Chain A
Amino acid sequence: MKRRGLMLSIVLVLVLAGCMPQGESGDGPAQITYFHPGLEQPEMREMIDELVQEFEQKHPDIDVKVQSVGWDQSYQKLVSGFNAGEAPDVIYGGSRWIASFAAMQAIQPLNAEGEKRLALYPKPLQKAARYQGKAYGIPRGFSSRTLIYRTDLIEEPPQTWEELVQVAKKVQQEHEGIYGFGVAGAKHVSTTTQYFNYLFQNGGQVFDEKGNVKLNSPEAAEALQFYADLYRKHQVVPNPLEYNREQLPILFKEGKIAMFVCGPWARQMMARAPDNEKTPYKAAPLPKGGKMANTLVSDSLMISAQTEHPEAAWTFIQYITSPKEQTQYDIERNTIPLQTKEAEDPFFQNDPYVREFVKMIDYGKPQPAPKAWEPFEEIVTQAVQRALNGEKAEKVLDDAAAQIKKQQLEPK
């Protein structure tokens, strides 16, 4: 019997070790977990750790534990967590997730103070943080889009779609081994937002005010056709299927593409290597279609419905989104001012790169808000990939719209 006893005790020890509550006691500081995707990048991690430390010094009664997985896995982790009753207390995530999280009753509406804080933000952002009229999130990261172009190859940035194609072709004629432009087409959220820029500029809609899907309208099809033609007909972009938007700055920095559309963080990526005098760049407004527009993408801070410390969670959000902290955060991350007031900070006025992004905010359209984002993203990227593969834009968008209806993703 010795052997069995040994085995049992090994299993028992392991099980117990796993079950042991980790340092929880009745009257210590309130412990909250803060989930922030993508902190495996050491630079990001440091910034958040510092912020948390500062907060803990000022609020010794609250203990913040930072949790993180890659952006790729975050949505999946959070949904599983909600179901398992293991959700983090404060969640940083895409505002596009708010609708399904709120519908799942996984996050809770903010209190009156939260409503007040939300009023500090531009209108489209406020809209993105609401679900059925209630505020569920405080915007945190936020970005508009500009065209980033090589100043040594392009004198005047293109201002319309036609000019975009012309300029790109001209660059390719004059220079060997470089594409004029670059777009995203991989299975990634950025493929939807890149396409939506053109869709909005062409006067199209994803959903109308009543929540009916309008993705198969002629405007949307025309926009998708243009997007696909950049690759298929005009051949001014490298095969988009391999690239998501985040890889475009690398291609740009390495002199493979002369223009691309991206958010303000592109600068960090292009400047990681100090020797990028080789590819001098500037930001410019997007080339416009029927009108000027761009997709505003934002991230938000949310509070889990399962949290045992809603006050502590709110105090944390309140602290890190205070106008002073937010301005600091935005400047450090090279991003654009989030709160309307922030824009007055001289940094955002004087920096010629950031200034262009600030200008684009006025033309911003919020991301569409389907009932659940991820299946919607899958459907739209499928459609874009099929168009890039040579299928007719009308056909693939009809299929996509039908899928959206079938899965009841319309925000009605």
Chain B
Amino acid sequence: MNKRGKHLWVHILLLSIFAVLLFPVAVMVSTSLKTFAGIFSWPPTWIPDPPQWANYIQVWFGPYQFSAPFFNSLFIATTTALITVVLAFPAAYALTRFSFVGRRSLLFLMLMTQMFSPVILIVGLYQIVQSLQLLNTFTGIIITNCALTAPMAVWLLQGYLRNVPLALEQAAYVDGCSRVTGILRIILPLSAPGVAMAAIYSFIFAWNELLIPLIFISDSQLRPASLALTDFVGQNVVYWHEMMAASVITTLPVAILFSFVQRFFIQGFMSGAVKE
């Protein structure tokens, strides 16, 4: 068999896998462009005629005001990302530049904490947030998010920092720079891609998180997008077309961010397992 023929076979296989893999997404987009009556028509259509772009406008500006939860999410996720990096970066630095008793245990702890599902911690977290009087506030959600993202961020960042050569930093110290200045002037710029990765990881985590706002937020004005999505499952009837439009809107920011950093993620998770 010649090389071309062989590759044709690969393409056919790949395309058929992707056809299955993208099926739900196609359904989502298609449904988001239907009318309420259209979603129940049988046999179903793939391309609604005419496509109801108005659904998106309805969801965003209409009575659901999906723009509000969207911006809530944006605020929560951005702040979570910022705080996470501020907390995690110095810690990752310490873990790669100092040797001290308990360093390995600390690394293990970080790894372990990142494995927790919020479900396990939520009862305890609820109490903390309650005693800080932060229930039903953005701050409450943000600090809880940070608790769950910081360990992973430390892990990702220390993986990155280990590959930043010491020599540059040391040159600065020889010149009489203090360590903190050295970090800010030299290490931080050099590890910018790693920092971006940790920030985006935290952003996406916060953007997708459902359980924390579900338990902590009761004021409807404070709901993030993930929680607001569940609104379309009304007491009476599920407005699938509008829900799907909102779903598409919710997915977009993550998709855009992700396309920048997916490569780094793999390295982060595999740190150690793959030599490059």
A and B touch in the complex (CB under 8 A): yes
For B129-143 the 0/1 string (1 means CB < 8 A from A) is 010111111111011
A232-258 contacts to B (CB < 8 Å):
246-247, 249-250, 253-254
B245 to chain A, nearest CB (A): 15
Tell which of B37, B133, B135, B236 touches A273, judged by Cβ atoms closer than 8 Å.
B37
The answer to the question of A40 belonging to the interface, with a C-beta cut-off of 8 Å to chain B, is yes
Q: Give the distance in Å from the alpha carbon of A389 to the alpha carbon of B232 in the complex.
A: 30
B77-103 contacts to A (CB < 8 Å):
79, 82-83, 86-87, 90
A69 to chain B, nearest CB (A): 6
Tell which of A10, A42, A72 touches B82, judged by Cβ atoms closer than 8 Å.
A10
Tell which of A17, A70, A250 touches B231, judged by Cβ atoms closer than 8 Å.
A70
B210-247 contacts to A (CB < 8 Å):
214-215, 218-220, 228, 230-238
Q: Give the distance in Å from the alpha carbon of A68 to the alpha carbon of B236 in the complex.
A: 16
For A14-41 the 0/1 string (1 means CB < 8 A from B) is 1101110000000000000000011111
Q: Does the CB pair B215–A41 fall under 8 Å?
A: no
Residues of B within 8 A of A70 (CB): 230-231, 233-235
For A62-82 the 0/1 string (1 means CB < 8 A from B) is 000001111111001100110
The answer to the question of A50 belonging to the interface, with a C-beta cut-off of 8 Å to chain B, is no
Check A10/B83 contact, CB under 8 A, given A40-B64, A273-B37: yes
Q: Give the distance in Å from the alpha carbon of A191 to the alpha carbon of B236 in the complex.
A: 14
B46-90 contacts to A (CB < 8 Å):
62-64, 79, 82-83, 86-87, 90
Residues of B within 8 A of A84 (CB): 126, 130, 135
Can you add 14 more A-B contacts, CB < 8 Å, to A73-B214, A76-B215?
A14-B79, A14-B138, A14-B143, A18-B134, A18-B137, A42-B64, A70-B234, A70-B235, A84-B126, A86-B135, A246-B235, A246-B236, A249-B237, A250-B40
What are 9 A-B pairs with beta-carbon distances under 8 A?
A14-B79, A15-B134, A40-B220, A67-B219, A69-B218, A69-B220, A70-B233, A72-B233, A80-B126
Closest 8 CB pairs of A and B: A42-B63, A18-B139, A40-B231, A18-B137, A38-B235, A254-B40, A84-B130, A71-B235
